[in-house]
């Protein structure tokens, strides 16, 4: 009886740990999707600096903010975006995103499209998703 109870408790503990690990992975995947959508939405609605302060790797932030200032000076306006692919990689807690941005440069009304590949990583220290790539080159 004691052996059966001990084996049952061990099995129950293993099932609980497996469920917790699966829930954590699902939570990271959902948080990745939210971060990707939020970052790209911020770019679309002209919140480039805020997007950088929220999601860009601190080591790349100065360069990112210089790029953002350059975009403003050149009169670049993002009209729309599409997430083409978004892949969460649970083995190394990272993600790859391919997006497209439609944009125009004032005073022209010609809309151009640019591809934007984004490399994301989950940082345990901040419990957040961080973007490791800067802004694309708008020509």
Locate the domains of the chain by residue range: 2-131
Comparing CA positions, the residue from 130, 120, 127, 116 lying closest to residue 43 is: 116
Residue 127: left (phi > 0), alpha (psi -120 to 50), or beta?
left
At 69-128, the pLDDT tens digits run 999 999 999 999 999 999 999 999 999 999 999 999 989 889 999 999 999 999 999 999
What is the per-residue pLDDT for 73? 95
46-57 mean pLDDT: 96
In our burial notation (b when 16+ CB lie closer than 10 A, e otherwise), range 18-56 reads eeeeeeeeeebeeebbebbeebbebbbeebbeebbebbb
Q: pTM for this one? A: 0.80
Rounded to the nearest angstrom, the gap between the alpha carbon of residue 131 and the centroid of all alpha carbons in its chain is 6
What is the per-residue pLDDT for 22? 40
Please determine, looking at this structure, whether the domain spanning 2-131 carries the CATH number 3.40.50.620: no
Query: Tokens 């978004």 correspond to what residue?
Result: 86
DSSP state of 44: H
**Percent of the chain clearing pLDDT 90 (strictly above):** 77
Q: Is the pLDDT of residue 136 over 90?
A: yes
């Amino acid at each position: 009886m004691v052996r059966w109870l001990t084996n049952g408790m061990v099995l129950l503990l293993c099932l609980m740990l497996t469920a917790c690990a699966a829930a954590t992975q699902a939570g990271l995947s959902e948080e990745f999707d939210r971060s990707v959508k939020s970052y790209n939405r911020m770019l679309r609605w002209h919140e480039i600096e805020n997007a950088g302060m929220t999601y860009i790797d601190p080591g790349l932030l100065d360069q990112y903010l210089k790029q953002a200032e350059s975009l403003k000076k050149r009169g670049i306006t993002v009209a729309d975006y599409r997430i083409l692919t978004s892949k969460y990689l649970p083995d190394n807690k990272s993600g790859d995103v391919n997006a497209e941005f439609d944009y125009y440069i004032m005073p022209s009304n010609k809309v151009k499209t640019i591809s934007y590949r984004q490399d994301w990583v989950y940082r345990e220290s901040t419990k957040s998703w961080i973007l490791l790539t800067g802004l694309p080159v708008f020509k």
